[in-house]
Structure 1
Amino acid sequence: MARPPHAREKALDAYAEILRADGERAATIDAVAARAGVSKGGVLYHFPSKEALAEALLERFHEVSEAELIEMQTDPEGPSRNYVRTSWQTSEEEDPIYRAVLRLAQSSWQPAITAIEQIHKAWGDLVRGEVGDEAIADAIMLIGEGLYYHSAMPGTWTAGTFDHSIDDLLAVVDRLKKHATSSSEPYPWPPSAPPTP
């Protein structure tokens, strides 16, 4: 009997969902099969081990990351504004692959740790290339990371603690960029190709 053509994608999506919700230990082959609505044999046909699931997820992560880097580099507003703007009010639905790989990194799986480090370095390289000032680039990165952390927290405890609009923060980014270009020679922009994650 032929397996459904999208069983592989369903299993991989289910694996990512379990990782995000419950962590790496909960993401067993049995749990993936149950979540995906396919037989255990159907999962094992495509992914003979948990390691194979993790490697396939990392492949998908690299594809998504490459597309995001190109979008960040080619954004008419520049990488700094893109980074801060896309860090605002994120949700599991918007970045499911990143969050799933982050859970793998938190379980000390070295390939996931390396992948997270590489994408953060690539984002930082684009921002540094635009502003030409290490400290200002770090400040812009920290604005984005703080926004991401704030928007990713569960519950409602943060609801009344942050009342700035994204436009307010992008205006801060613009002021930082202006200071960088007035105080030092900017790096050549744009670079010839996006950094490789």
Structure 2
Amino acid sequence: MAQPSPSARERILDSYIELLISEGERAATLDAVARTAEVSKGGLLYHFKNKDALVESLIERLEEEVEADIARLHAHPEDSIGYFLRTSVNMGTPYDRAILATLRIAQENQQARDALNRMHDHWRGALSRTIPDPAVVDVVIFVSDGIYSASALDGTVAHSVQETIDVVKRLVASPAPQIP
């Protein structure tokens, strides 16, 4: 059975995200978004009164994706580190695309920076359910960020993700070193 086609509003938002990722914020003008979405500029403005409304919808999408991801992470409490790091590979999912698009505008947009900070806070809170040491939680997030960046840049990671997961799990399980 064929998937229903996305609504005009969703196509417009998807087009905005695509332009942000592929060409950057300056190229993602309202005219370019309308052209890419194959709608008139009036049609775009019917759904999004201005570029700020597109940004708000992008952030809403990111937050919905984060919420769904956190729910999936909670469904794997016995392997939260493995789940978190395995899903850190950029696979071009709507979640990945929302993150990349938000990253593209974050330098100039406080709302985007705030959304990315909230995303990290949600990850931190979810991981802290199974990792008691906040510093270790941060290390796991930093490793995740590295996996994501490497896979987003060229589609690969230097080592297999499973090898990385195994190393991180050994580090987490190790007793903290005693400083004299």
TM norm structure 1: 0.78
Number of residue pairs matched by the alignment? 172
**Cα separation, 2, equivalents of 1:5 and 1:44:** 17
Write the distance in 1 (CA, Å) between the matches of 2:154 and 2:143: 19
Kindly report the root-mean-square deviation, in angstroms, between the aligned alpha carbons of the 2 structures: 2.3
Q: 1:42 to 1:140 in 2, by over 3 A?
A: same
Distance, in Å, in 2 between the alignment partners of 1:84 and 1:5 is 30
Give, in angstroms, the shift of residue 137 of structure 1: 2.1
Give the distance between the partners of 2:6 and 2:152, measured in 1 at CA. 34
Are residue 38 (structure 1) and residue 39 (structure 2) matched?
Answer: yes
Structure-2 change in CA distance of 1:5 and 1:19 (3 Å) = closer
Alpha carbons 1:87, 1:144 under 8 Å: kept: yes
Asked which structure has the greater RCO (Cα within 8 Å, sep 6+), the reply is 1
> In structure 1, what is the Cα distance between the partners aligned to 2:115 and 2:19?
20
Select which of 165, 174, 178 maps to 2:173.
Answer: 178
The one-letter amino acid paired with 2:171 is: L
Who is 2:53 aligned against?
A: 52
Would you say the 8 A contact 1:81–1:173 is kept in 2? no
Structure 2's unaligned 5+ residue stretches are none
Superposed, 1:1-197 pairs within 5 Å as 6-88=7-89, 90-93=90-93, 95-106=96-107, 108-154=108-154, 162=158, 164-179=159-174
Which consecutive unaligned segments of at least 5 residues does structure 1 have?
A: 184-197
CA positional deviation for 1:92: 3.3
Q: Distance in 1 between matches of 2:126 and 2:19?
A: 32
Q: Tell whether the 8 Å contact from 2:77 to 2:130 is kept in structure 1 after alignment.
A: no
Shift in Å, 1:99: 0.9
**CA distance in 1 between partners of 2:27 and 2:21 (Å):** 10
Deviations 1:87-107 (A, max 9, x none): 13x14345111111111212x
Amino acid of the residue matched to residue 50 of structure 1? K
- Are the equivalent residues in 2 in contact too, given 1:92–1:99 (CA < 8 A)? no
Name the SS of the counterpart of 1:130 in structure 2: coil
Shift of 1:42: 0.7
User: Runs (4+) of structure 1 moved beyond 6 Å?
Assistant: none
Please say which of residues 37-46 and 77-86 is displaced more in the overlay.
77-86
Q: Distance in 1 between matches of 2:114 and 2:6?
A: 32
AA partner of residue 41 (structure 1): G
Could you tell me how far apart the structure 2 residues matched to 1:41 and 1:135 are?
A: 50
What percentage of residue pairs aligned between the two structures are identical? 40
